[in-house]
Amino acid sequence: MSKIRVLVVDDSAFMRKVISDLLNQDPSIEVIDRARNGIEGIEKVKQLKPDVVTLDIEMPLMNGLDALQHLMKECPLPVVMLSSLTKEGADATIRALELGAFDFITKPSGSISLDIHKVADDLLEKVKAAAQTKGKQRSIHIPPIKKVAPTTLAKAAAPEQKAPVSKEPPRAMGGRVAKLVAVGTSTGGPKALQTLLTALPASLDAPLVIVQHMPPGFTKSLAQRLDTLCAIRVVEAEDGQWIEPGTAYIAPGGYHFEVHQSGDRLKVHLHQAEPRGGHRPSVDILFESVSGLTNLKKWAIIMTGMGSDGTKGLKQMKEKDQVFSIIEDESSCIVFGMPRAAIQAGLADKVVPLEKIAETLVKLVN
């Protein structure tokens, strides 16, 4: 079996060496070359045609975002970004995922991380997973960060301005939330969420509660970015927040997200119990909390991601109540792990490509 050929792009000679050494320790991976900036990285991709590129975001001459955009247009391939934990780094990482990056790794302590070994296992896992998706990347166009016109489904009732999200009990439907959509996703999820949420109308008669596997510091940037693009409101969930129709609540990185019931109202509950299956937030924990809610119409969506998070929770939802599940089809998944697990467990009521999920959901909910 041939090795996974990796090009490492980073402006720090130290980081290039350390990342290369970490990758080369795995017998299934071979670092074929290194590049000092985005311009050199693009040239070497064209020359060497690696299977995967690791790409630093902050570099001179040409930064990682500009390099990524060139790569996705000219010679698309799986790219794993290396990001800092700053607010600017988080915003840039979300942009990179939209532009077509496979996934990202956070440098533990800044641009030059002497403790990069802390994320070695994560790096190896994501490089191997990225290699399996070679050929799925394609040239894409992503709009700049600005308020854009909602998609066809959303146009009918898109408000000029969104009302602020409040911790006061919602007055919509007499304060009652009668429907709920629970969503789980992981690798490839930010792009999948953008496709799903931008196609939903502001009049959607249900809230969405979402777990996207992401470390702390990145989910807020994701929510803010999506909110600029969507007719519905998109927020990072806050503990104690009342859940309202027409709003999507994304679990903050590092916190499990549960939905609790207070009469006929729903409320966000966040906590930091041990990770489940290596994840915090966990889709299973979100789904299990939703399974205990009563007098509520429920839908569950599982989209692209590694592993099987969400399958156990969906099983519990179906055992306790009537739940209609929509699972992303393999044809549109960046990684088919989570959807495959749910389908193989016999839990899929509808399997559709990503582009059809919103349309399917709107017909069911409204």
Q: Catalytic residue among 10, 56, 103, 309, which? A: 309
Residue 227 bears catalytic tag: no
Q: Which residue has the tokens 């909390």?
A: 289
Q: Catalytic residue among 213, 282, 289, 308, which? A: 213
Q: Which residue has the tokens 């790569």?
A: 71
Q: Catalytic residue among 83, 84, 186, 221, which? A: 186
Query: How many CB atoms neighbour CB 252 within 10 A?
Result: 22
Q: Helices then strands (H, E): number in the chain?
A: 12, 14
Q: Which residue has the tokens 């077509």?
A: 100
Q: How far apart are CA 333 and CA 337, in angstroms?
A: 9
Token pair belonging to 1:
């079996």
Angle at 192 between CA 215 and CA 67, to 5 degrees: 75
DSSP designation for 116: G
Q: Are 310 and 158 in contact (CB under 8 A)?
A: no
Q: How far apart are CA 92 and CA 96, in angstroms?
A: 6
User: CA 129, 135, 136, 139: dihedral to nearest 10 degrees?
Assistant: 130
Residue 186 bears catalytic tag: yes
Token pair belonging to 110:
């800044």
Residue 269 bears catalytic tag: no
Q: How far apart are CA 366 and CA 363, in angstroms?
A: 6
**Helices marked H in the chain — which ranges?**
13-24, 38-48, 64-74, 87-99, 120-131, 152-155, 189-198, 219-229, 283-291, 311-320, 337-344, 354-365
Active site amino acids: 186, 213, 309
